[in-house]
Amino acid sequence: MSILALSGGVGGAKLALGLSRVLPQADLTIVANTGDDFEHLGLSISPDIDTLVYTLSGLANPELGWGRRDETWNFMETLTTLGGATWFRLGDRDLAMHVERTHRLRAGETLTEITDDVRRRLGIGPRILPMTDGRMRTRVHASTGWLDFQDYFVRRRCEPVVHELMFEGDAQPQPEFLALLADPALTAVVICPSNPFISVEPILSLPGVRDALHACRAPIVAVSPIIAGRAVKGPTAKMMTELGLDPSARAVAEWYGELLDAYIVDHADAADMDGLHPRITVTKTLMLTLEDREALARVVLDAAASVR
Amino acid sequence: MSILALSGGVGGAKLALGLSRVLPQADLTIVANTGDDFEHLGLSISPDIDTLVYTLSGLANPELGWGRRDETWNFMETLTTLGGATWFRLGDRDLAMHVERTHRLRAGETLTEITDDVRRRLGIGPRILPMTDGRMRTRVHASTGWLDFQDYFVRRRCEPVVHELMFEGDAQPQPEFLALLADPALTAVVICPSNPFISVEPILSLPGVRDALHACRAPIVAVSPIIAGRAVKGPTAKMMTELGLDPSARAVAEWYGELLDAYIVDHADAADMDGLHPRITVTKTLMLTLEDREALARVVLDAAASVR
């Protein structure tokens, strides 16, 4: 088997963890959104890669939903006394990732190389590929004007009304990502339950990716990030309303359109799927436990097999 | 009064603290060696400035003799798991200084501006001036070839035999430093008990500084960093032997030569001062307590007054 998962942060990482536990490690490749990446305090921060790395290595912070477990905050506390920017919180352990990554990027290593070295060191089996080694930055056209993504997402807590999104930069997709999509041995593409607009769309909008997905012979399966009109975490539902969409599992499927061969929705949304193009699978999509993640991963793989 | 102190790290910072406690805050300016500064993990580190800042703000780590008190090491521990360089230890709190400084330097602020902002925020009265806002790097010609200073000092623990020192770069002295030396209101210049070769010499070797000191009408008072043939901390004595000098308080005075008007030595070295050019004051120079630091500061100011 060869499974390619497209993922953003928290929700996507949960399913990626499930997939990593029900598949042989070498069979899974995860492509991470890097549209959220930014430079802060001179450090190169890749939030979705880090959430994937921490989740797959068992180091994720279960209380916060981001960052590392067993975290301490002495750097941040001291930075406050020095008048530094504190709106983006960096734990002492998490900081090691950002400092080391920034240092290696400046020394000429690619984000792909660094991420691959880190996941090996932390004992993660599946490959984690940045969607690109180039620069693409998600920007948010909000009621207050154009905002950098983390300004919108963290500093302003997703409060501004979103009119439009833009993916800035001329990044090319990571070559191995494109090669996998073109590989006849590819078994399935999984679009994880991440925000379609800010986690998945940056990946899809890279030059050639949409065409490669349409040309790809493997089935494409998405899991709805919306359950009964609400996102499990994050601004997906609010953002859909602001973008003039119905905040529903159905509207997500319609947004992905012809791309999808199969679509996984929660029991709560089963009644609203009539007449949709992809094959619908109804299951429990809320992932509270590790067992939930594994069970959903199996449903996803079965759905892919059933349309192949 | 207007007192200008030239200082390296630990020993110099102890006397600088003493001076800061016996003088009105506005009367003291400390010029810090930046020849030890280096870039590590992409961060701009200024060890002597930091030791001065931590010592004068009461934040210095009394157990380690460097870095911050109440320090934690989770960044460093995590960096190890990521394969990062760990020979130079950076505490979680200390790191805030390096990240913030690096960030501000890249944004175009000078080291002088950043240091001044930090000392104000930490409630330090006296000004702390970097010897230069430019780049001058101490390099060590050792038995193993030319080494960067921190490579010699920290990574190799001062173990290589030193043949020669070099101060690399075309840095100009900090303009306020030169202006103070030329100011007729200057009361004294204090050369703190720092390593003459690697803490004081970088300052003296900046273009124009030696001439400005010779032209300066204020008395120049040095405190010996050597007591009874030994340095209180660091490689001064070992380095003197390797450079073909006698590791003695006398040899330090001879090294400074005509520059000095007064010289403060410990009781242990009193018998060895015959025929030296500067006026000798004998006192207890070992600074174990805060009272020791204040007492030595008073002796230094008295010695300056007596030759004025």
Query: Cβ separation of B82 and A121 shorter than 8 Å?
Result: yes
Asked if the structure places residue B53 within a domain, the reply is: no
Q: Provide, as residue numbers in chain B, all residues whose Cβ is less than 8 Å from the Cβ of A75.
A: 75, 92-93, 95-96, 99
Q: Is the pLDDT of residue A308 over 80?
A: no
Mean pLDDT rounded to a whole number for chain A: 96
Question: How many domains are contained in chain B?
Answer: 1
Rounded to an integer, what distance in angstroms lies between the CA atom of residue A121 and that of residue A125? 10
User: Searching chain B, which residue's CA lies closest to the CA of residue A107?
Assistant: B42
pLDDT digit string, tens, across residues B59-68 = 999 888 889 9
Average pLDDT over residues B173-199: 97
Average pLDDT over residues A168-173: 96
Query: Which one-letter amino acid corresponds to residue B201?
Result: E
Query: Which one-letter amino acid corresponds to residue B89?
Result: R
Q: Is the pLDDT of residue B308 over 80?
A: no
Domain of A272: which CATH number? 3.40.50.10680
Average pLDDT over residues A192-211: 97
Q: By residue range, what is the domain housing residue B272? A: 3-38+125-307
Rounded to an integer, what distance in angstroms lies between the CA atom of residue A37 and that of residue A111? 11
Contacts 24+ apart (CB under 8 A), B99-103: B99/A41, B99/A42, B99/A43, B99/A75, B99/A79, B99/A84, B99/A95, B99/A99, B99/B43, B100/A41, B100/A79, B100/A82, B100/A83, B100/A84, B101/B43, B101/B44, B101/B46, B102/A42, B102/B42, B102/B43, B102/B44, B103/A41, B103/A42, B103/A84
Average pLDDT over residues A267-284: 96
Q: Provide, as residue numbers in chain A, all residues whose Cβ is less than 8 Å from the Cβ of B68.
A: 78
**Can you list the alpha helix ranges (DSSP code H) found in chain A?**
10-22, 47-56, 74-81, 92-106, 111-121, 149-150, 175-182, 201-204, 209-215, 236-242, 249-256, 290-307
Q: What is the model's pLDDT at position A143?
A: 86
Burial (CB < 10 A; 0-12, 13-18, 19+), residue A282, is middle
Asked if the structure places residue B70 within a domain, the reply is: no
Query: Which one-letter amino acid corresponds to residue A128?
Result: I
Query: Cβ separation of A42 and B41 shorter than 8 Å?
Result: no
Asked if the structure places residue B200 within a domain, the reply is: yes
Q: Is the pLDDT of residue A107 over 80?
A: yes
Average pLDDT over residues B37-49: 97
Asked if the structure places residue B119 within a domain, the reply is: no
Please give the ipTM for the structure prediction. 0.92
B92: closest CA among B107, B106, B78? B78
pLDDT tier at A58, thresholds 50, 70, 90: very high
Query: Cβ separation of A78 and B72 shorter than 8 Å?
Result: no
Give yes or no for a contact between A190 and A1, defined as CB atoms under 8 angstroms apart.
no
pLDDT digit string, tens, across residues B99-153 = 999 999 999 999 999 999 999 999 999 999 999 999 999 999 998 899 999 999 9
Share of chain B above pLDDT 90, in %: 95
| Optimal mutation site among A92, A93, A115, A119, interface B, most CBs of chain B within 10 A | A92
User: What is residue B30's three-state secondary structure?
Assistant: strand
User: Searching chain A, which residue's CA lies closest to the CA of residue B83?
Assistant: A121
Q: Provide, as residue numbers in chain A, all residues whose Cβ is less than 8 Å from the Cβ of B117.
A: 83
Q: What is the model's pLDDT at position B65?
A: 84
pLDDT digit string, tens, across residues B63-88 = 888 899 999 999 999 999 999 999 99
Q: Two tokens at B102?
A: 């690096």
Q: Provide, as residue numbers in chain A, all residues whose Cβ is less than 8 Å from the Cβ of B83.
A: 100, 117, 121
Query: Cβ separation of A121 and B43 shorter than 8 Å?
Result: no
User: Strand B38-40 and strand B43-45: pairing?
Assistant: antiparallel
| Optimal mutation site among B99, B104, B105, interface A, most CBs of chain A within 10 A | B99
Q: Is the pLDDT of residue B254 over 80?
A: yes
User: Searching chain B, which residue's CA lies closest to the CA of residue A118?
Assistant: B82
Q: What is the model's pLDDT at position A271?
A: 95
Asked if the structure places residue B58 within a domain, the reply is: no
pLDDT digit string, tens, across residues A215-259 = 999 999 999 999 999 998 889 999 999 999 999 999 999 999 999
Residue B8: C-alpha distances to residues B14, B46, B83, B169, B234 (Å): 10, 11, 32, 19, 11
Q: What is the model's pLDDT at position B22?
A: 98
Interface A-B: count of C-beta contacts within 8 A: 103
Query: Cβ separation of A75 and B122 shorter than 8 Å?
Result: no
Q: Provide, as residue numbers in chain B, all residues whose Cβ is less than 8 Å from the Cβ of A121.
A: 81-83
Q: What is the model's pLDDT at position A117?
A: 98
Query: Cβ separation of B100 and A82 shorter than 8 Å?
Result: yes
Nearest chain A Cα distance for residue B53, angstroms? 12
